[in-house]
Structure formats: C-alpha cells, structure tokens
Amino acid sequence: MILPEDAPVGKDVREYLQLDDTILEIDLTPNRADAFSMRGLAREIGVLFNQVPDLQASEACFEGGALGDLPACDLQLSVQAQKACPIYYARLIEGVDASVKSPLWLAERLRRAGVRSHDLLVDVTNYVMLSLGTPMHAFDGDAVEGGLEVRFARKGERLTLLNAQQAVLDESVLIIADEKKPLAIAGVMGGAQSACSATTRRVILESAWFDPVCVAGKARRFGLSSDAAQRFERGVDGTLQRQALDMATRLIVQIAGGQAQEAVSVVAQGHEALAREPIMLYPAQITRLIGRSYPPESVERILRALGCVVQAEGEGWQVTPPSWRFDLTIAEDLIEEVVRVEGYEAIEAVMPTFSYREGLAEKSMQKRWAERLLALGFQEAITYSFIDAGTHAVFFPDKEALTLTNPISAQLSTMRVSLLPSLVQTVMHNRHRQQLDVRLFEIGRVFIAQGEKAQDCVQENRLAGALAGLAAPEQWGVAIRKLDFYDVKAVVERLLAGVENVDYRPSAQAYLHPGQSADIYCDGRYLGVVGALHPSVQQALGIKGAPIWLFELSLEAGVEIKRHAYQSVSKFPSVRRDLALVVDEAIQAQEVQRVIVSELGEWLDEVFWFDLYQGENLPAGKKSLAVAILLQGQDKTLQDEEVERMISALVETLKEKFGAKLRN
C-alpha cells in the first residue's frame, strides 16, 4: 500500500488508517429506502434509543464552512417534465483539477461502506449519497452543448451509457439532455460522452428529485443496476437536494480546487408526490390489529421520534409522515412502526376469541372447491405467473403468449396461459426428491393474449390440479394400484357436485393423452379439461415415471352450485330394470343417460352404468352399454304394468334418437 507523503513514519498503521473500527452490516427491508444513508440510520438509531441525533455531524467531515457569495451561474436550465422532476439543482464549477486522487479518509470511508473508490468526482457524489441519501451526478461541462434540459426522450433517441451499453430510448424514459443530445437516463445512469475524466476542468453537478413512478423499472428494462436507481425507485427525501449540492461543492473545491458558481434551479411548488397526506390513527385500530393497547403518550412519542407531525383529533391522531418516509401511507403502516419500536416481544401470546353468528355470507365457489380438494388429500401450491418460453411451446405450440420485456430470469419470461405447466414442473421437482405420490392444486390467474399490447390481455381465474403416483398408500389389505383416468375424473365430479348439466366430451387439447382425456362442459359452455399428460409432452420435458393426471377448471364460466334440496324418503319399494343397449361406438353413454333422465322424470330414483362390451357377437362399429334403472314412487307402489309401459316407451325413444337395440 502506497501511503500519502505526509504519512508520519513510525506511526502504527492501524492507528493512522483508523483500522481499529467496527463495521455493522445492516439488512434493509425493501420499504425502508430512508435507511440507505448514514442520516437515515442515525434517525433510526435515535428512535430506538430514544435520543435525538445530531444530523449536522455528517457534514463536519472536512475543513471549511459556508460557500459564501458565489458568482452568478451562466448555465441555462430547462425542466419540461416538472411533474416527473419537480426539483432540479445544477451548479457549474470551473478550474477543477479532476486528476487529483481522493484523500485517504474519503476512500477509506467509502471502502468501509462497501463502495469501491473510483475517482475524485465519483467518490464525492457517492460520499454525499451515502451521507444524506440523495443521489447526484457530475457532467463534464465541456461535453455539454448549450444548457441542460430535463425532458422525456424522443422515440428512437440513443444514449451510450457509462457501462458502454447503448440504450434505445422512447417517450416513457425521462432523460437529462443538452440542446443536441441525451446526456443521462434520469435517476438511473449517466452517458459515456458527458462522463468526467482526469482531464475534466469544468464540472456540472446535478442534484434532483425524480418521481419514483418515472424511474421504476427503467434500470431493469435496460439491464442496469445502479445505486441511484435503487434509491429513486423507492423514494428520496425531497428536502435535501440543495444541501447535497452544497456539500458536494465544498468537498470538490477543497480537494480539487476550482471556482464554484451559484446554483441554478427549478423547484415546482406543491407537487403532489412531495406533499404527504395526513393519516388518521385511532387507538381502537391498534388494539384490534395487535391484540393489545399502547399508552397514548407512547404512541405519540414514537411517531414524533420518527419525524411525523402528530395532532390530536377527536379520539385519535392526525399523523403527517415526514418527507423521507414514503412507506407510511395508511394507518396500518403507522401501527407497524409503533409495534416495531416498542418491541415485538411486548406482544403477549394469547388465544384469540371467536364469536359465531347465523346469517354469514355463503362461501365463494373458489373457497368451496379449495376445501373439497383439501379434504381429498390435496395440498395447495402457489407458483409464479410466469413460465419459460420453451415449456409454453411444448404445451401450447399454436397459442400466442405474452413475453416479458424485462423478465426476472430466462425461466420466467412468458406469462402463463394455463396453471398446468407450473403444476407439472412442481410435480417434477417433487419426483427429483423421491416424492412420488403427489396431489397438488392451485388457484390463480392466467393471461390470455388479445393483441400485441400487454394491457389488452384477458386475465382469468382458474383452478387446476395435478396427481401422480398411487391411488392409495401401500398397505397389506389392498392391492397396489396406480392412479387412472377415473380417479382424476372422480375428483372433478366431487368438485362439481351440485352443478347441473355437466358433460364430458373427448378432448382435443394437444398436451393431453387423446384416449385418456376429456373436455368439460356445463350447459354447453366450456368449463375445463381433465386427463393424462401426453406422453410426448412428458418426454419433451424430461419427465420419467408414471403418468401425470391433470385437471383445470375456469372460475369465471358462470357455474352455479345447486342448493341442497331435501325431501322425505319414499316409504314405497323401488323397482330395478337392467337394459343392455347396442349402439354405435361414437355414441357417448352420457348422451343416452340424459335422455333416460328426461323421459322417466319424477319416477326415476337412480340410474348408473355397470357394463361396457365390445367384441364377438356384436356387429362391427357397435358396442353394448348396460344400464341399471331404479324407479320409485313418492306416493304409491309402482305396478309391473306401469313399469313395463315406462320402459317400453323409453326403449322406443332410445331407438329413435340413437338407433339403440336391446341386446339378446
């Protein structure tokens, strides 16, 4: 390590470099943008230890006081997007020697804060940002043609960034520009052409407040990551921009020389993003949510220590959050802060009390179905709303999907059009960990593309399930049996118990086994699918082992569950008649059953199929369906003559509609 020339020879290097130090690593929750700075941490520590921090101490880190009288600045400034940038300060410093290295104390403080020393101008802006929480940027004044403009980019404009990446801009991107070209993406990253270097002699300092909505997502869109974007996206204190500009100016002039000019600025008054709306807080809210009450004086003390303006109003308080706490917007946020500062350990563990009363609203179909699946041994899964493009292509080769411009990862780049691909991936995940018997369900949204724009997609709620493995756990009393189509169809029928006019038709879904799947309809409306995952899809996904059985139902198909209707049990005997009907192979048993129910009406007690035969003694293309019909009267015993008349009329109707004949 090469030390400065004025380093005292013979002095303990640990003492000289102040290495006998304690470094605290602090993890922040995403909502606490105010704690990204030493000033913010000082406030937080002051609250926790019931002390008032000296926030001016962060500026007393170098020699020199106020800037004094400065010459007027001839820098032209225009802010065209004042709603997105209501506060903008700029200052020109001439005669700066940017080749000067950062002092050891400055580089060391940055290093201990986890920031690598770069050059003096970058180090100063980083130091101010870490001290006050206000990001800054420095432009090479000689690279700026004319004045500065804050505006939205024009479609097709390009900017080469500091990381050498070229960004193609559009009207949604807020930029800093001069009269001829873009200079920086506001709140994210500067451009390479206007970057300062060792030869820089004229420096333009920027200190601004950008609306988090305008900055949010821009860094990810261009594949960038910057400390400035991290802060602006979450919200920066809108009262420190001038203070940050002056602090950085004094540091640069002290270390690198130069003559600073007076700042130019545009400050829009009464901007809605900076004006904090008051929040009403009542002691009863705290008791209801937390389960215990807090003394009013403790609540007021904590909120004032956090920087809030607290005014008593009626039975509660009107609380106005400070300019640096963008996460405080509703009463629950304030309650959370009171509980956090007072200590979570102060909340006693007590059993809640419940009151039961009649007349509660009926459960939604979504909740009914979820409870039925839980009772059938399913477990609820929650997966991402995105899948990878390859999986989508395997399941839906002919269906368009929405592709994300800035996905979290390559595996999460496509909005799902069905819940099934994610559930199949979850089954795979379990199989790889020796969990072979799996029953999962998920309730969530799918996104059906309706055009090129993402906002044009249709969002639909669905319920889906995936089953794999054995029909029942291994045991000595029952033979081992794998799941089959009728197991998963039984689950669907249990879900749809109470829904009338449900029928199953052979499915044409490409991702399902053509001989072991069905489309589900209710009153002629498409409701969903049930069946086995197609072997070719399993192979394409690299899934080995037993078949995976799937079902998916729309929660927005207008399905109504029929209310339970109770009637007295008939005291008269029932009569059973079995019919073996020879029909064409293409005719579905459900079509025949619908006619039977319609023809026999109130006399029909139960109908079920008990045999299917295809083979010898039947003509080609024919099959035999055996059905059991139970007839019963509510007010009399049915006589044989009446039963025979009903059955004869039924057989004649089936002959007319389906060409059915009784099998000898």
Structure tokens at 517: 């799947």
pLDDT in the model for residue 410 = 78
pLDDT in the model for residue 192 = 92
CA distances for 120 relative to 248, 522, 654, angstroms: 11, 72, 93
- Count the alpha carbons within 13 Å of 614 in the hemisphere toward its beta carbon: 8
Could you state, in chain order, the average pLDDT of each consecutive group of 10 residues for the chain (664 residues)? 87 88 88 90 90 63 59 90 92 94 92 92 96 94 93 93 90 93 94 93 95 88 88 91 93 93 85 78 92 92 93 92 92 94 88 64 72 93 91 89 79 90 94 91 89 70 93 87 93 87 87 92 90 93 90 82 73 92 90 91 90 88 92 89 92 92 85
CA distances for 239 relative to 39, 132, 324, 624, angstroms: 13, 11, 9, 85
- Tokens 């999962």 sit at which residue? 440
Q: Determine the Cα–Cα distance for residues 597 and 590; give it in Å rounded to an integer.
A: 10
Q: Determine the Cα–Cα distance for residues 499 and 506; give it in Å rounded to an integer.
A: 20
pLDDT in the model for residue 61 = 43
CA angle 234, 237, 239 (to 5 degrees): 160
Structure tokens at 132: 């006050």
| Domains of the chain, first to last | 61-267 (3.50.40.10), 279-345 (3.30.56.10), 365-554 (3.30.930.10), 575-662 (3.30.70.380)
DSSP labels, 376-394:
TT-EE----SEE-HHHHHH
- CB-based contacts of 10: which residues, under 8 Å, 6+ apart? none
- CB-based contacts of 87: which residues, under 8 Å, 6+ apart? 208, 209, 238, 241, 265, 266, 267, 268, 271, 274
What is the phi/psi pair of residue 526, to 5°?
-65, 130
User: Which one-letter amino acid corresponds to residue 495?
Assistant: L
Strand order in the sheet with 661-662: 604-613, 622-631, 575-584, 661-662
Q: Determine the Cα–Cα distance for residues 323 and 318; give it in Å rounded to an integer.
A: 16
Residue 552, SS3 per DSSP:
strand
- Beta bridge partner(s), residue 158: 168
C-alpha closest to that of 236 among 330, 309, 133, 333: 133
Q: Determine the Cα–Cα distance for residues 482 and 546; give it in Å rounded to an integer.
A: 8
Structure tokens at 393: 């292509």
